[in-house]
């Protein structure tokens, strides 16, 4: 069946999550310098190690930071409050983000986004990237009541688009949450390469840069039996 829609993950796929979070932490340490006065050097590098590419919920991450650096009691709550207030200001897109989305829209594809997380934070990231107007549907796990890789969240987005799974492609960086989740939900799964993750062996296509996506999707749309490696 011909591809009619392309859906995306957010963090690590459209948002350069690691660059964005490093920038945020640098500004956060400056804003709340009084909390870190006795913490020593190499703060941000160590905080990024503890972050582990966003694997822990933010409250847990900041509690870990408070303990690791022996910060004043209650510092984690202040850091979390600062994160929620300021993180979207630091949003940095992956290369070729808007030009790729515009090219896909011009080619006639419906566009959507499925992301795990809180509506407050994920929604402000989307707005920080300035891409909401380019998306036909946005599904955030908190409001959907289910998280990737559960097939129900993919089905929710596809239902809103009016597209069946076999007529949709999903692009993401996480081999389990994104690639396997999309495959199990019946979508064409495209892995956006990220050296943090091991390469999945079950994706339909691999891209290194978003600017490869229009030609890949158009090629697959022309031959629905194809398996493409960009």
Q: How high is the mean pLDDT in each 10-residue block of the chain (230 residues)?
A: 93 94 92 83 88 88 94 95 88 96 97 95 93 98 97 98 97 96 97 90 93 90 51
Domain stops at, among 90, 118, 133: 90
Query: Does one domain contain both 137 and 39?
Result: no
Query: Does one domain contain both 76 and 189?
Result: no
Q: Residue ranges of the alpha helices (H) in the chain?
A: 17-31, 43-51, 58-68, 75-86, 97-106, 119-129, 141-144, 151-161, 181-184, 213-222
In a domain, residue 228? The reply is no
Q: Is 6 within 8 Å of 103 (Cβ atoms)?
A: no
Instruction: Dig out the tokens for 205 from the structure.
Output: 């296509």
Query: Does one domain contain both 207 and 125?
Result: yes
Structural domain boundaries enclosing 185 = 5-16+93-222
Say what the pTM is: 0.87
Domain stops at, among 64, 90, 116: 90
Query: Does one domain contain both 10 and 23?
Result: no
Query: Does one domain contain both 211 and 105?
Result: yes
What pLDDT does 212 receive? 96
Query: Does one domain contain both 108 and 172?
Result: yes
3-state secondary structure of 189: strand
Query: Does one domain contain both 217 and 137?
Result: yes
What pLDDT does 67 receive? 94
């Amino acid at each position: 069946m011909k591809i009619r829609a392309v859906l995306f993950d957010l963090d690590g796929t459209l948002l350069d999550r690691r660059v964005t979070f490093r920038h945020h932490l640098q500004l956060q340490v400056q804003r709340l310098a009084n909390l870190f006065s006795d913490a020593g050097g190499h703060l941000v590098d160590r905080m990024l190690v503890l972050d582990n590419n966003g694997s822990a919920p933010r409250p847990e991450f900041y509690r870990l930071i408070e303990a690791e650096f022996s910060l004043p009691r209650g510092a984690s709550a202040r850091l979390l409050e600062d994160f929620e207030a300021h993180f979207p200001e630091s949003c940095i897109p992956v290369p070729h983000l808007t030009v790729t989305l515009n090219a896909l829209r011009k080619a006639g594809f419906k566009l959507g986004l499925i992301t795990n997380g809180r509506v407050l934070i994920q929604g402000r990231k989307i707005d920080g990237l300035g891409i909401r107007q380019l998306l036909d549907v946005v599904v955030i796990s908190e409001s959907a009541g289910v998280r990737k890789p559960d097939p129900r969240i993919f089905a929710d987005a596809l239902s809103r688009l009016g597209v069946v799974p076999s007529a949709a492609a999903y692009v993401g960086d996480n081999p389990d949450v994104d690639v396997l989740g999309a495959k199990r939900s019946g979508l064409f799964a495209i892995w956006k390469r990220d050296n943090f993750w091991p390469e999945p062996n079950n994706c339909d296509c691999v891209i290194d840069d978003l600017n490869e996506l229009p030609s890949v999707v158009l090629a697959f749309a022309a031959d629905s039996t194809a398996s493409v490696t960009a």
